[in-house]
């Protein structure tokens, strides 16, 4: 019996045994690839489908195939993507969100992953500091928190902090004349982990404090792990700092390739208990070209739709639910001028008014939202954001950002307007 006839007959048997939802989701996408010496090889797309078939449907497959050919048959299921690239899937036993076991490793991030693992082992290394850089949403914070958790488990004293919090604590220590306490806290640790280091840009006094903290830790052979933008492109940074950032090992994380995105989608879908077929997985993988957070956002939408409808999602339903994400494929961050234009249009003011010194309520409201998006979504410094807003000073922008942050908790209109503007800017 040829392989096509064998598989066609097997499918007829399986249709009678398996409900239509599971049949369409798991059985239909299978491709028979070889049949030799009573051994049938079946090919599937992705490790999630492979595991599902092996764990739950192998008895059905074996019974149907053996009934079709009349002899005992060995069945081998392979992942057709595995030949193209090696993807390391997270351990299912690990429930912590930010660990090395829950980080999916592919060609785009394997060097960064290996370097962070070595730091987390706290073994002797030939490099210090470790600097991890990438665009937003590609896993820097995940890796830093994985290092933090690993070192804590080893009983080491570790300090994880964002550069924004470092700045706030440093300013507070100066005001309250507690700089000695601040120094002791940050220099007595075995490892210092600083996230979003680019936000020290333009903060001369804080950079001075961080420089001395860095030097003290480095000279005492303490581990320093940093993450942020490309260190060679940091603006408004002292040269002596950027040179130190690049004196150890600098590794980057690139956007994931197709196979890695598929693995990520399958893993996150499983964590959400979301059943989606290979066609939907492919559509989401093709759609999301920028960062992993967009994948999470889409899957959360699909999960919500699945719960509301109480039925599996087909490709047409998925596409209708994620309309608006199509621009992701061709769009990165919007430009600052586009931000001002969208805010002005949505709130019914002009860009010139946003940049002016007018204290009109609607204009101030628009200026605050513009400040927030420029600083938080485009990662511009407070100084750079102020320059775009008509040369507003650092304090004015900071106060505007804090106002929006505080208002979002209780102000529905603020949340609504901010989301509408972000959607128009394709910020997800």
| Model pLDDT for residues 128-177, shown as the tens digit of each residue | 899 999 887 788 999 999 999 889 888 889 999 988 889 888 998 899 88
What pLDDT, on the 0 to 100 scale, is given for residue 409?
A: 66
Packing angle of the helix pair 336-347, 361-372 (nearest 10 deg):
150
What pLDDT digit, counting tens, does each position of 230-252 carry?
A: 887 777 788 888 888 988 888 88
Q: ∠ CA(9), CA(33), CA(28), 5° rounding? A: 50
Per-residue pLDDT band for 11 (boundaries 50, 70, 90) equals: very high
Distant-in-sequence, close-in-space partners of 158: CB < 8 Å, separation ≥ 6: 148, 151, 152, 189, 190, 191, 192, 193
Contact, 196 vs 163, CB < 8 A? yes
Residue 212 pLDDT level (bands cut at 50, 70, 90): very high
* Strands across the sheet containing 39-44: 31-36, 39-44, 74-79
**For residue 370, what are the CA distances in angstroms to 146, 351, 396, 407?**
34, 10, 12, 15
Question: How many C-beta atoms surround the C-beta of residue 149 within 10 A?
Answer: 16
pLDDT band at 69 (very low <50, low <70, confident <90, very high): confident
In angstroms, the CA 330 to CA 303 distance is 25
Output the pTM of the full model: 0.55
Per-residue pLDDT tens digits for 14-26 = 988 887 767 877 7
pLDDT 10s digits, 195-211: 989 888 888 888 999 99
Could you tell me the domains of the chain?
Answer: 3-79 (3.30.300.180), 110-252 (3.40.50.300), 267-330 (1.10.8), 336-424 (1.10.1750.10)
Q: Which residue in the block uniquely carries the two structure tokens 């609504």?
A: 416
Query: How far apart are the C-alpha atoms of 362 and 46, rounded to whole Å?
Result: 51
Which tens digit of pLDDT belongs to each residue from 345-382?
Answer: 999 999 999 999 999 999 999 999 999 999 888 878 88
Question: In angstroms, rounded to a whole number, what is the distance separating the alpha carbons of residues 323 and 261?
Answer: 19
Confidence of residue 389 (pLDDT cuts 50, 70, 90): very high
**What number is the average pLDDT over the span 278-306?**
82
Q: Compute CA distances 178 → 116, 163, 193, whole Å.
A: 33, 19, 22
Report how far apart, in Å, the C-alpha atoms of 213 and of each of 179, 220, 353 are.
12, 11, 43
Quick one: average pLDDT of 211-230?
91
């Amino acid at each position: 019996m040829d392989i096509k006839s064998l598989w066609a007959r097997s499918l007829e048997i399986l249709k009678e045994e398996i409900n239509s939802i599971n049949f369409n989701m798991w059985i239909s996408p299978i491709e028979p690839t070889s049949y030799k010496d009573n051994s049938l090889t079946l090919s599937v797309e992705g490790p999630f489908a492979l595991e599902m078939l092996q764990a739950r449907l192998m008895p059905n497959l074996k019974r149907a195939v053996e009934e079709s050919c009349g002899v005992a048959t060995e069945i081998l299921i392979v992942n057709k993507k595995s030949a193209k690239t090696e993807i390391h899937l997270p351990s299912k036993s690990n429930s912590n969100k930010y660990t090395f076991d829950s980080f999916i490793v592919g060609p785009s991030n394997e060097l960064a992953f290996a370097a962070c693992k070595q730091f987390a082992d706290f073994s002797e290394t030939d490099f210090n500091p470790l600097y991890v850089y990438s665009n937003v949403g590609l896993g820097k914070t995940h890796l830093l928190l994985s290092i933090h958790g690993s070192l804590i488990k080893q009983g080491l004293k570790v300090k994880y902090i964002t550069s924004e919090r470092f700045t706030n604590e440093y300013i507070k220590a100066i005001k309250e004349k507690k700089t000695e306490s601040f120094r002791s806290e940050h220099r007595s640790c075995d490892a210092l982990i600083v996230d979003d280091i680019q936000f020290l840009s333009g903060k001369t006094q804080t950079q001075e404090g961080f420089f001395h903290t860095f030097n003290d830790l480095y000279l005492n052979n303490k581990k320093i792990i940093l993450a942020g933008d490309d260190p060679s492109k940091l603006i408004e940074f002292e040269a002596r700092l950027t040179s130190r950032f690049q004196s150890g090992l600098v590794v980057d994380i690139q956007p994931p390739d197709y196979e890695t995105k598929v693995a990520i989608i399958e893993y996150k879908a499983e964590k959400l208990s979301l059943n989606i077929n290979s066609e939907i997985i492919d559509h989401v993988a093709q759609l999301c070209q920028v960062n992993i957070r967009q994948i999470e956002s889409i899957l959360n939408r699909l999960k919500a739709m699945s719960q509301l409808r109480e039925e599996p999602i087909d490709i047409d339903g998925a596409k209708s639910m994620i309309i608006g994400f199509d621009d992701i494929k061709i769009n990165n961050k919007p430009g600052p001028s586009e931000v001002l234009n969208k805010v002005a249009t949505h709130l019914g003011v002009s860009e010139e008014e946003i940049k002016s010194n007018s204290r009109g309520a609607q204009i101030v409201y628009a200026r605050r939202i513009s400040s927030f998006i420029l600083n938080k979504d485009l990662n511009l410094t407070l100084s750079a954001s102020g320059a775009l807003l008509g040369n507003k000073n650092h304090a004015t922008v900071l106060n505007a950002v804090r106002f929006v942050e505080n208002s979002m908790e209780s102000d529905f209109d603020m949340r609504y307007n901010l989301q509408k503007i972000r959607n128009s800017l394709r910020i997800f």
